[in-house]
Amino acid sequence: MKTLDQFSFQNKIVLLRVDFNVPLNADGSVADTARIQETKPTIQYLREHGAKIVIMAHFGRPKGKVNETMRFKPIIATVAEVLGCPVQYAPDPIGPTVQEQIKQLQSGEVLLLENIRFYPGEEANDPAFAQQLAGLGDFYVNDAFGAAHRAHASTAGIAAYLPHAAGLLMQREVEELSKVLTTPEHPVVAIIGGSKISTKLALIQNLLPKVDKLLLGGALANTLMLANGYDVKQSLVERDLVDMVKGLLSDKLLLPSDVVWGEDRILDIGPQTVAIYAAVIKTAKTIIWNGPLGMFEQSAYAAGTLGIAQAVAASGAYSVLGGGETVSAVHQAGVQDHISFISTGGGA
């Protein structure tokens, strides 16, 4: 992985891929600027080193078509405020207009391209589109860790056509996650929640050989509970995976021993499970957490996730967590300052 300090950016055009997929309030204002804040060190570094910065980012899932509700123009003022510098806007990332805008850029100036996902070539990782993007600059820097697992034109394809490096956020994410996945201090406890086992199956299979205990919760645990003979009633399950997940059941993997019901559906882990999981967490030296353990956005079903957040914070272990909902839960519990590293990478 090449890093920024290996290059000279003076008077060079740097295409910087970031993750500005921010949540919005009903009035269209930015609800949480964390993702913009996270990219600030890289942008500051590039500005201080004389780069002309062209930002590429996505917002929402417009599916390769222009969607007026997913334009970047309304958030430009917020981006400029957070970054502490003026930000210019290019309504079209391809064509003569943007080329002229880039030509006018001075060292240290910032230009934000329109939502890159308005183009079908982005998510298709179309080489021709990647080449068009690459033609706009001299260097490519990827600081979008939250989108790095997706092989899109602006996250993967473009790197074939330009000298490239990881941004400071990407570098830190990779270093921190390598630490917990390759040389962690044992005992290692992983906590995996969320709604669908299918989306976390690879993660669980990858973690099981590396951890000492794996604690499951959220709706994804229902499929394993069903495989283990538990009556889950009307709960969300993926029945086509029941036979497959039986192979995951082991002494290492803990399932909820009691649950909180709502209209015949499991919506949270129960107090007994919180106590059992908290006791395991207390023994950990390293903790990896991805996904909430119940429908925590409703206060009636938040006790499980918030209880686990408090246990992780109190453990004294080196803790890494990721996933938008997990991050929200930790903030809701007010313990974010007691987590060692909060990853921007979602389920990435």
The residues that are catalytic are 35, 196, 324, 347
- Give the DSSP letter string of 9-35: -TT-EEEEE------B-TTS-BS--HH
User: Are 76 and 90 a contacting pair, CB within 8 Å?
Assistant: no
List the one residue out of 256, 313, 260 whose CA is nearest residue 289.
313
- List all residues 6 or more positions away from 325 whose beta carbon is below 8 Å from its beta carbon: 194, 291, 292, 296
Rounded alpha-carbon distances, angstroms, from residue 115 to 19, 20, 54, 142: 11, 10, 13, 16
- The residue whose two tokens read 């930002």 is 55
CB atoms within 10 A of CB 278: 17
Counting beta carbons within 10 angstroms of the beta carbon of residue 46, is it exposed (0 to 12), middle (13 to 18) or buried (19 or more)? buried
Q: Kindly report the backbone phi and psi dihedral angles of residue 238, in degrees, each rounded to the nearest multiple of 5, phi listed first.
A: -110, 90
Which tokens go with 26?
């009903």
C-alpha radius of gyration, the chain, whole number = 22
Distance CA 159, CA 16 (A): 11
Task: Give the HSE-up count for residue 334: Cα atoms under 13 Å, Cβ half-sphere.
Answer: 0
What contacts 290, CB < 8 A, 6 or more positions away?
A: 190, 191, 192, 193, 194, 200, 203, 321, 322, 323, 326, 347
Strands lying side by side in the sheet with 253-254: 253-254, 213-216, 188-192, 286-290, 318-322, 341-342
